[in-house]
Structure 1
């Protein structure tokens, strides 16, 4: 069985607002979306948006206070300028600027935003990663 992620589903407080936020960032709403769930198509992954409480119920877990979840999602772009542009656009769409993009210790350039529900997204330029600049899909070499 191959390693893959097909869908990342985020629990959200306001489905309509969250759908508007992500479509403004370039995700495409799809015919699979329904009144209670949104499925947004990206280049190589689908982003699901579902009520925070309903997602907890579906997973048979308790709803806990929203805060740092120990997880971030990431967008890798082709240049520092592209990172700045994406970051500023996300903030204009309602993201909270968690950490403005800057040169980082590992030799790249990155920053963080929090979406309207507090989900962290890193936006980065990593000069050591190879990938398709038109889609942002990475292709890393396996260890031998």
Structure 2
């Protein structure tokens, strides 16, 4: 297998609501909108593997049941201030703040928001990660 993730597909309960959230709140530009699917071109994607229990603990949610699905999506930004700005944006339009921005044990600054379906997004500034 080539080291690449082509698609990350989120199961949503209301496609129209999710389109509005990702387009109008998060500012993503839809590439294709069809009756039953919406595609957003996201650029370069990274895949990280992290122990399930530790990832749930990091997000501050239970590891079992509906609170945690075993996956988070991560978006790195250029500064701690951008973390807080994006967390505030993510909490609008049916999204919610899950964990406020804070200094992480690994030296960066991070927080989490959930989209209207509860999909977790980590927003992080990592001083040791290549900047975009």
Bin the TM-score by the shorter chain.
0.7 to 0.9
- Using the size of structure 1 for normalisation, the TM-score is 0.72
- Using the size of structure 2 for normalisation, the TM-score is 0.78
State the Cα RMSD in Å.
Answer: 1.5
Q: CA deviation at 1:109?
A: 0.4
Whether the 8 Å contact between 1:77 and 1:83 is mirrored in structure 2 is yes
Number of residue pairs matched by the alignment? 112
Q: How does 1:66-105 map to 2 (within 5 A)?
A: 66-105=66-105
- SS across alignment from 2:11: strand
Q: How does 1:29-48 map to 2 (within 5 A)?
A: 29-31=30-32, 33-44=33-44
Structure 2 segments unaligned to the other structure (5+ residues) = 46-64
Please give the alpha-carbon distance, in whole angstroms, between the structure 2 residues aligned to 1:123 and 1:85. 10
Bigger fraction of residues in helix: 2
1:14 and 2:34 matched: no
Deviating beyond 6 angstroms after TM superposition, the runs of 4 or more aligned structure 1 residues are none
Bigger fraction of residues in strand: 1
